[in-house]
Structure 1
Amino acid sequence: MINHAIRFGSEVEAARTAGAPIVALESTIISHGLPRPANLTVAKEIEATVRAEGAVPATIGMIGGEIVVGLDEGEIHHLAGSDDVVKLSVRDLAPAAAARADGATTVAATSAIAAKAGIPVFATGGLGGVHRDASATFDESADLTALSRLPITIVCAGVKSILDVGATLERLETLGVSVVGYGTRRFPGFYLTDAGFDLDWSVADPESVAEIIRAARTHEVHGGALVVANPLPADEQLDPALHDRVLAEGLAGLARDGVTGKEVTPYLLAHFHTATEGKSLDVNVRIILRNAQLAARIAAAL
């Protein structure tokens, strides 16, 4: 029988013993989020960014049915290059473990594993959320319900602009997930600096985020996760006019090609990559590197 316990990579295990800051990282960006060979290059850059800020990266995934917190270089290479890597949300973890699968963890699964492992800070690109046709399909990301019950801080660039951003913010409020803007009171839209929605709370530095985390621990009365929305500077975002045109084309393509369910997001992201001639990929990489840097600074401050 396979051992279904979580395995910690050697660097992460040493950091846990020493009480050093650790940042959790997802692995779907390696297996499904970026094209080859950029996926492997960016995965290494993300980890290097975390280390440069004095924290230890803990990229999370599944190898042969075993959950690994802190994939080593060979395991990251494997997830980056294999065609048989399963995309794992929380509901998939047990079946994939029993099947001895190789898997990459989504935001929801990475958050759940990081919380279980006692890692309080997680960096990603953008959250999943409520899809634009959710009133008919009830399609919303498992990220939202996972964050409603996990004591974790997630640094992101808001939610992907291909989603219904307003409805997603409403759901986060309903689910008890705190959202603070980093240096802003406007919610970012992943590729876009400003998605068009106000935020109630804003922080100016990593120490302020750490203080919020400490407050939640002290009074022990909290809802779900803390989302730190970290927008791209306006001069680094995808051109808004280009974004809006490409999004409209992509949404029309969904209807034309009959794409539904979990295939919607990868379809639209692939369309963005093609239609913007790689500009959206460049923005995506800037987003995750900036979020990894901020998450490491928060972990160090904590």
Structure 2
Amino acid sequence: MITLHPEVREALQAGKPVVALESTIISHGMPYPQNVQTARKVETIIREQGAIPATIAILNGDIKVGLSDEELEMLGSSKDVLKVSIRDLPYVTALKLNGATTVASTMRIAHQAGIAVFVTGGLGGVHRGAETTFDVSADLTEFTLSNVAVISAGVKSILDIGLTLEKLETLGVPVIGYGTEDFPAFYSRVSGFKVPMTLSDPADIAKVMKDKWTLQLTGGLSIANPIPAEDEIPASVIDPHIAQALQEAQENGIKGKDVTPFLLAKISEITAGQSLKSNIALVKNNARLGAQIAVAYSKL
């Protein structure tokens, strides 16, 4: 049920580096046309580093690994694209719908396709107030099932970062800070929490990936890559805006998978677009690192 783009299939068969990309960030994470422009630029960055991009989405019920330029445009401009996590996959494929994959579903599809590196913006995790709502992203449990290294700018700062890191530790997920001892918080370079491991060479990260799976330790790795210093919004600046957005989400009864898109849009509105600029910058930064890791891993 998975259709590989010919370029992706050829690269995988030849053992060339491939980088998976999610599609929720295109359909639900950014407005049009910035979403499509960013998706194209991210794919270009990956190619410049010597790897092949493979954006994953569901179009008319078909799981696509690697999209054409026309399919990217449709995904970013269409209003009928569903946000698809693991639980939603069979529903969307069976009814021949259009869907954008989250971190969790992209990890699963990448794993099934044989792609070991996946680039995203920020991870889902334990939501604030989860002690009463039990709102914990499927992204975290997917790390126990799919052998994929996920490059992100940490978890989204709208989450409970401390509890998310505790959950990742419980699940046995290696969390590696790239050139940092501080766990990044999406818009901000530091969160106040430490990473358990720090590496500064993509080749070393590739070696950890190889040894984890050689040891038959099933599951993924979280590679936390801080947003570039010139693009960050310090926590002291962004945190009050996040609190305001969370309050509005609660007042409007926004729940479940609708929370993150609502918060990202609201924070962008409050910050007069600065958060969107930071979001785009960190995704590009992650793409560059992800491609470098994929290239190093392919050499092993």
TM-score interval for Structure 1 and Structure 2 normalised by the shorter chain: over 0.9
Distance (whole Å) between structure 2 residues aligned to residue 282 and residue 226 of structure 1: 27
Q: Residues 46-92 of structure 1, C-alpha deviation per residue, up to 9 Å, x if partnerless?
A: 10010000000000011110101011111111111111111111111
- AA at the equivalent of 2:226: P
Normalised by the length of structure 2, the TM-score is 0.96
Q: Residues 261-302 of structure 1, C-alpha deviation per residue, up to 9 Å, x if partnerless?
A: 222212211111001000000000011101011000000001
Distance (whole Å) between structure 1 residues aligned to residue 208 and residue 257 of structure 2: 34
Partner of 2:8: 12
Q: Does 1:177 pair with 2:173? A: yes
| Gap runs ≥5 in structure 1 | none
Partner of 2:106: 110
Q: Does 1:209 pair with 2:196? A: no
Partner of 2:47: 51
* Alpha-carbon contact 2:189-2:234 (below 8 Å) kept: no
Q: Does 1:90 pair with 2:89? A: no
* Alpha-carbon contact 1:176-1:223 (below 8 Å) kept: no
Distance (whole Å) between structure 1 residues aligned to residue 255 and residue 83 of structure 2: 17
Q: Does 1:75 pair with 2:108? A: no
Partner of 1:148: 144
* Alpha-carbon contact 1:177-1:223 (below 8 Å) kept: no
Q: Identify which of 287, 294, 301 aligns with 2:289.
A: 294
Distance (whole Å) between structure 2 residues aligned to residue 7 and residue 126 of structure 1: 26
Q: Does 1:28 pair with 2:16? A: no
Q: Residues 89-121 of structure 1, C-alpha deviation per residue, up to 9 Å, x if partnerless?
A: 111111111100111100000000000011000
What's the CA shift for 1:213?
1.1
Structure 1 runs (4+) deviating above 3 angstroms are none
Partner of 1:158: 154
Q: CA RMSD in A?
A: 1.1
Q: Does 1:245 pair with 2:252? A: no
Q: Residues 220-247 of structure 1, C-alpha deviation per residue, up to 9 Å, x if partnerless?
A: 2x25211100012333211433202211
Distance (whole Å) between structure 2 residues aligned to residue 191 and residue 94 of structure 1: 33
* Alpha-carbon contact 1:154-1:225 (below 8 Å) kept: yes
Normalised by the length of structure 1, the TM-score is 0.96
Partner of 2:279: 284
The farther-off stretch of 144-153 and 244-253 is 244-253
Partner of 2:189: 193
Q: Identify which of 119, 126, 131 aligns with 1:130.
A: 126
What's the CA shift for 1:42?
0.5
| Gap runs ≥5 in structure 2 | none
* 3-state SS in 2 of match to 1:97: helix
- AA at the equivalent of 1:171: K
* Alpha-carbon contact 1:87-1:106 (below 8 Å) kept: yes
Distance (whole Å) between structure 2 residues aligned to residue 172 and residue 197 of structure 1: 13
Q: Residues 128-182 of structure 1, C-alpha deviation per residue, up to 9 Å, x if partnerless?
A: 0000010001001110111121111000010000000000001111111110100
* 3-state SS in 1 of match to 2:28: helix
Partner of 1:256: 251
* 3-state SS in 2 of match to 1:177: coil
Partner of 1:265: 260
